Structure 1
């Protein structure tokens, strides 16, 4: 139990909601359903969110932006021992934010993301795919992922957490993103600097593989030869693929700590010539990685790190 002082009174529900850009009802729903709420609750006083409470909510939001379900996102946020957050300052005005309706709540995004959100809510897969494909053509995979896909999937996740509706929207957007990015892998890309491929796969038990597909598409556009092996790849299948292809690098994705197993990295077979190993995703954040294993934390950083290691 956290005891707030006069210097650190914490934030009310409404003030915390404004800080995070969600409705107060969303926070109450997250607290009721998933147990991620304010830790300070003295009898006769309004509940207030401490710095650590807000930090956990921010971790949950980042997981939602990556497309994970609210339940898994909450479990991930609660599993972090000491989350970091900017100091909490009280706010006097507590107006209620609105969510739901016929639009997604997408603050601080451009018109393309709002258009994608409208098309997603309308379940217009043709429009969603068209907007994604046009963004890839004009701006590339990284910008499309960071400025369109992540905000829209995050807004869909927040809507579901607040209203328990919108799963069909998430499924449609995920299918369209998978189709658009997956199609890029079948096209002739820039001249490859190394004919040895980069293997990319989600860890055993990891079902959320969209970010690793985005990485494969981005690497392809940069002249790297990717071999995307999808979600929930068994360890023996990954080992067989490494022996068969003699890759230049192997990238293993984990969203949740429960699927991030450093032992699997250590048990990877050795090939000649040797390959680099990378652990991608927030699931690896607190894992002790084997020596010579790179840690990837974002799409753009991953593209840079792998390209620098491969394109020599």
Structure 2
């Protein structure tokens, strides 16, 4: 079937960047769905640029519905061809659980080849939000629960940090070149064991269209207003997998929030642990669920 037959001449067409913004699916994933699985068939300009009709965008939304229910991407095309009235099958039992077990095993074995394969597979086949919610966030939570009392935990942690720093850093670099959203400055808090939560937050924010400036080590609180000014940040996001010191949370962070002209926000396990301490403080507690945290952050930066 020709592209012209799929998209009549009077049908509005959208470039891939706009489709990504509307659906939350990044351009790399959209191209993978087209090339590898034939899930969508956009029109092409004479120069080869993809253009999507409203029907294509609706199809992307249907793909997301299946993926979010746990259906492997390889099975989605067959389901899309079924009539809308066909009852949806149950999620593929154990699919995400199996991927989590494989990922944890790769980290514990320091198997970088397997780690690379699992990372590339998840990012190519599923939306970033789904990967974070179903795979990376639960895995990091589980690993952190055991690392404190396990031999070789430090080596596992630093290996995973180095791996994600490189892979996510590359994605941030390319995404920032095209990002048109607000600028978000992300830093870890002083007691955090490492940049894992900051890396995931940076990935989630970039997927939402933010231009992300991510620093992998804490700064003195006195330097944060200058950092916000120099990076021209529209919001400051602090992350931590720890509870952090009580004085920092109850006194220093609220004081910093008063000094800043942009929202001071908090996410990661620290946000769940310290939510009660920061009620009414001026610090915006976004929670430890990163996709949900990004939704709350968007409401703050849009209002600003």
- Give the TM bin, normalised by the shorter chain: 0.5 to 0.7
> For the structure 1 residues 285 and 269, does the alpha-carbon distance in structure 2 shift closer, same or farther, using more than 3 Å as the test?
closer
Structure 2 CA distance for partners of 1:170 and 1:292, relative to 1, 3 Å:
closer
Deviation at 1:155, TM superposition (A): 4.7
Task: Give the conservation status (yes or no) of the 8 Å contact 1:193–1:311.
Answer: no
Change (3 A) 1:144 1:243: same
Structure 2 length normalisation: TM-score? 0.56
**1:112 equivalent in alignment to 2:99:** yes
Aligned Cα root-mean-square deviation (Å):
3.0
Q: What residue is the counterpart of 1:182 in the other structure?
A: 169
TM-superposed CA distance for 1:122, in Å, is 3.2
Q: Distance in 1 between matches of 2:284 and 2:123?
A: 27
Residue 187 (structure 1) shift? 1.0
Contact 1:197 1:249 in 2 (8 A): yes
- Residue in 2 aligned with 1:294? 284
Alignment match, 1:80: none
Show the counterpart of 1:31.
Answer: none
Partner of 1:305: 296
Query: Mapping of 1:244-283 within 5 angstroms?
Result: 244-259=230-245, 260-262=248-250, 263-268=252-257, 270=259, 274-283=261-270
TM-score normalized by structure 1? 0.55
From 212, 222, 225, the counterpart of 1:239:
225
- CA distance change for structure 1 residues 115 and 236 in 2, over 3 Å: closer, same or farther? same
Q: Which structure shows the bigger proportion of residues in helix conformation?
A: 2
Taking structure 1 as reference, are residues 261 and 193 closer, same or farther at Cα in structure 2, changes over 3 Å only?
same
Taking a change above 3 Å as real, the CA distance of residues 137 and 153 of structure 1, as seen in their structure-2 partners, is same
- Equivalent pair of 2:237/2:267 in contact (CA under 8 Å): yes
Which runs of 5 or more structure 1 residues have no equivalent in the other structure?
1-106
Give the CA deviation at 1:162: 7.0
**Partner Cα distance (1:140, 1:169) in 2:** 26
Kindly indicate whether the alpha-carbon contact (under 8 Å) linking 1:250 and 1:277 is maintained by their aligned counterparts in 2.
yes
- Local SS of the residue matching 2:223: helix
Gaps of 5+ in 2: 1-93
